[in-house]
Amino acid sequence: MEEEQRPGVSAGEPATTAPEPECKHEDCVEDPENGTSSLEQPLLKRSATLTASHLAIVGAKVSHIESLDYEIIENDLFKHDWRSRSNVEVLQYIFLKWAMAFLVGLLTGVIASLINLAIENISGLKMLHMVNLVREKRYWAGFFYFAGVNFALTFVAAVLCVVFAPTAAGPGIPEIKAYLNGVDTPNMFGAPQLIVKIIGSIGAVSSGLDLGKEGPLVHIGACLANLLSQGGSGRFRLRWRWLRYFNNDRDRRDLITCGASSGVCAAFRSPVGGVLFALEEVATWWRSALLWRTFFSTATVVVVLRGFIEVCRNGRCGMFGEGGLILFDVSDVEVRYHFADLLPVTIIGVLGGVLGALYNHVLHKVLRLYNLINARGRLAKLALALAVCVFTSAGLYVLPFLVPCTPCDPAFGEACPSTGKSGNFKQFNCPPGQYNDLATLLHATNVDATRNIFSIRTPTEFRLDSLFIFLAIYIVLGLFTFGIAVPSGLFLPIILMGSAYGRITALLLSKFARGIDHGLYAVLGAAALMSGSMRMTVSLCVIFLELTNNLLLLPITMFVLLIAKTVGDAFNPSIYEIILDLKGLPFLEPKPEPWMKDLAVGELAAAKPRAVTLQVVEKVSTIVAVLRSTCHNGFPVLDRPRPGVSELHGLILRAHLVAVLKKRWFLHEKRRTEDWEARERFSSTDLADKVGTIDDVDLTPEEMDMYVDLHPFTNTTPYTVVETMSVAKAVVLFRTCALRHMLIIPKFQGPEISPIVGILTRQDLRAHNILGAHTTSWARSLTWQTRGKRTERF
């Protein structure tokens, strides 16, 4: 992240122009392959200073990261650009925002429907052929066919992620959270990531791995939003004039928020739940206008999904699937609550919190172990993914043979046993008139398995031992599948695990659970486990209400979610917070640590090197020396209106300095320019392009002796705080205003006092960085408070 320094050292003073050794971005960090050698250490090494490493793990790749400029840079060029815009241009800008939101929803819905149809058909045909071989008693042939197809599908997905787009591995939701928090996650939302995510998720989910497509759909929506706002990527990028409006981090952030909510909507066919998911889980900055646009995007997704369902009825889109995703309609079930139902429902909520926290704790350790394996190179990543695939195939194929067959209840009629493409009561290896309940869950497509375990009015369909086996294998597979180099999601595995223990609870407490269907207990178990692991409440409640299509479940679902989240919070953070910390992404939490109230921002500035400042009219050689000797992305600009007096003029970004040097906008004498002089060569859109580095600038000795007037490019309204402000208050301000830099000014002003005390960035406000830089006794005594937030205390 950006490293900024401390009080008032002017870059114009030769003795302090280069307070640090020469430093380029890639030279400011340690070797990414030497991240850790212990399961108890962070995945990447941390320095005991305020400003930590520039490295973080994005997807499955170690990347150099920076912050995003969400703050409006109010320099002279920006102000002139807004004043000169006509009403037509303003209306065009507003219209394009809504048009982009519509396109994001439209494309996300189409791609999600096609992904679902591909997965359902591929995995369904695979299951049908395997079951036919089993019914012919060709057991070894069935196993090798089943494992071979899964191996090939996993191989395709893993090769794409390992070779072409490492950042496409995993769900992508932690990186989206970090991006919307202000962290630039490079190579995360490009065209290669989109293509690999689509093909890889089809291959990974179709191969039977214990993962879902819900997380990848969120990433796909974010990729579409990023590409639409920028006109594409690379050399194929469209540079239409009207796209210049979106060439900034703020509008891109809003569109990616729309994309993330559209992905959740496409995964669960839940428009309101998608909006609330973005608000509760991924978005850091929110406003009412963004609420309306995200809702417009999710509404578009729902229309597209409904259209695919209508088109695909009666098998017109293949043998499986109807275009929509998980759907559990219990609107025709009469739900009644009794006082006796509170006990099993409370048990489900408590178990959801405990199991969710335990799942997070164990997954935390597994991810550390996988990091050691993946650090060995591409072959190790590929071998790990294929090994998990073989283990998964063996477990799914063999386990149904361990349970006895169950005679069909005459009340089920022709539905039992089922030998076709979908439905409950899979016959598998059983004789006519009997079914294998474990095969009903394990040998089905993801959507079919979810519908089977959520099925209503089937209290005796699943045996208790079968449900325990199903729960055990899905817990093991879920822990060892997440983290391999394929696109993966956590939603579906957790839903299936939760629904299994929900049905188990209903069977064990059947004398207390007479008023609620066992299928509804499966829904409550799934909701509780998701809340216990992901710590979401409002969005999960709405998602499950839209899934079940039954408002009568609202009170009991709220009750379960609140219990599960409360219990889970008592042990460790949510799974996404754990992953963010493991990856080293500098995510700013919404709530500062209690001890930050006793620490002033001036004390943080005192723990940093001295600040490098520039003059309003600065020499070219000084600017070049500062850019080449530091990695900083923002520099305070000072003005001297009269001798002996120095004032803070504002803040200028590194990218703007490079743009000025590349265009060689130099002066032969040291003077302030007129407003029109800068406008002849620059516009606010020119400064929005963050391309090029100081190494791309080659200047002659004559040009190095010239001057640059920085006042047209300086943000004259940066956020400033007085040095006595508490760190807790500064953290809240920094996060709420989506800042990249925060200037610290002295409490008292005077001719002999520097107008700038220092600069704070997000790395300076992170708890473990502060505790690492301050070695005082109070910091050491309070370390446990931060450690309890970063690591599990299970």
SS (H, E, C) 27-82: HCCCCHHHCCCCCCCCCCCCCCCCCCCCEEEECCEEEECEECCCCCCCCHHHHHHH
- End-to-end Cα separation, the chain, in angstroms: 31
C-alpha distances (whole Å) from 557 to each of 421, 595, 741 are: 32, 36, 42
Instruction: Kindly give the parts of the chain with pLDDT less than 50.
Output: 1-40, 48, 323-327, 329, 331, 776-778, 784-794
Is the torsion defined by CA of 115, 116, 117, 121 positive or negative?
positive
State the DSSP string of 462-495: S-HHHHHHHHHHHHHHHHHHTTSSSB--SHHHHH
Helix (H) or strand (E) holding 382: helix 378-398
Q: According to the model, what pLDDT value does residue 513 have?
A: 59
Rounded Cα distance between 540 and 523, Å, is 12
Total-model pTM? 0.88
For the chain, what is the radius of gyration of the CA atoms?
29
Tokens of 127: 């299951």
The crossing angle, in degrees rounded to 10, of helices 87-135 and 191-206 is 20
Q: According to the model, what pLDDT value does residue 733 have?
A: 94
Tokens of 229: 């706002």
C-alpha distances (whole Å) from 131 to each of 125, 422, 695 are: 10, 12, 62
**pLDDT digit string (tens) for 709-732?**
998 999 999 999 999 999 999 999
Rounded Cα distance between 332 and 354, Å, is 32
- For residue 170, give the 3-state DSSP assignment: strand
Q: Find out whether 263 and 300 touch, Cβ atoms under 8 Å.
A: no
Tokens of 696: 């791309």
Nearest alpha carbon to residue 364 among 58, 57, 586, 578: 578
Rounded Cα distance between 239 and 248, Å, is 14
Q: According to the model, what pLDDT value does residue 511 have?
A: 64
Cβ-in-10-Å burial (0-12, 13-18, 19+) of 542 comes to: buried
Q: Find out whether 337 and 548 touch, Cβ atoms under 8 Å.
A: no
Q: Find out whether 756 and 648 touch, Cβ atoms under 8 Å.
A: yes
> Residue 643: how many CB atoms within 10 A of its CB?
6
- For residue 459, give the 3-state DSSP assignment: coil
- For residue 17, give the 3-state DSSP assignment: coil
Strands 610-615 and 434-435: unpaired
Q: Which amino acid is at 381?
A: K
- For residue 573, give the 3-state DSSP assignment: coil
User: Any idea which residue has 């909507």 for tokens?
Assistant: 265
C-alpha distances (whole Å) from 434 to each of 405, 419, 427, 440, 468 are: 6, 11, 6, 12, 21
User: Any idea which residue has 């989910």 for tokens?
Assistant: 205
Q: Find out whether 103 and 702 touch, Cβ atoms under 8 Å.
A: no
The DSSP secondary-structure symbol of 408 reads: P
C-alpha distances (whole Å) from 135 to each of 143, 398, 427, 429, 532 are: 13, 14, 9, 6, 41
Q: Find out whether 647 and 40 touch, Cβ atoms under 8 Å.
A: no
Exposure class string for 765-794: b at 16+ Cβ within 10 A, else e: bbbbbbbbbbeeeebeebeeebeebbbbee
Tokens of 277: 């998911």
Q: Find out whether 558 and 545 touch, Cβ atoms under 8 Å.
A: no
Q: Find out whether 30 and 700 touch, Cβ atoms under 8 Å.
A: no
Name, in order, each residue with C-beta under 8 angstroms of 38's C-beta and a sequence gap of 6 or more. Answer: none
Domains of the chain: 15-56+590-668+694-762 (3.10.580.10), 102-322 (1.10.3080.10), 339-399+452-583 (1.10.3080.10)
Name, in order, each residue with C-beta under 8 angstroms of 183's C-beta and a sequence gap of 6 or more. Answer: 1, 56, 65, 67, 68, 585, 586, 587, 762
User: Any idea which residue has 């009170």 for tokens?
Assistant: 555
Q: Find out whether 493 and 212 touch, Cβ atoms under 8 Å.
A: yes
Q: Which amino acid is at 23?
A: C
User: Any idea which residue has 């953290």 for tokens?
Assistant: 731
State the DSSP string of 350-381: HHHHHHHHHHHHHHHHHHHHHHHHHTT-HHHH
> Using omega within 30 degrees of 0 as the cis cutoff, is the peptide bond preceding 417 cis?
yes
34 phi and psi angles, rounded to 5 deg: -105, 40
Tokens of 68: 């995003």
Q: According to the model, what pLDDT value does residue 455 have?
A: 77
C-alpha distances (whole Å) from 627 to each of 10, 404, 470, 614 are: 14, 73, 59, 11
Rounded Cα distance between 63 and 83, Å, is 39
Rounded Cα distance between 231 and 239, Å, is 7
Exposure class string for 379-397: b at 16+ Cβ within 10 A, else e: ebbbebbbebbeebbebbb
- For residue 385, give the 3-state DSSP assignment: helix
Tokens of 144: 């090798």
Q: According to the model, what pLDDT value does residue 447 have?
A: 73
- For residue 634, give the 3-state DSSP assignment: strand
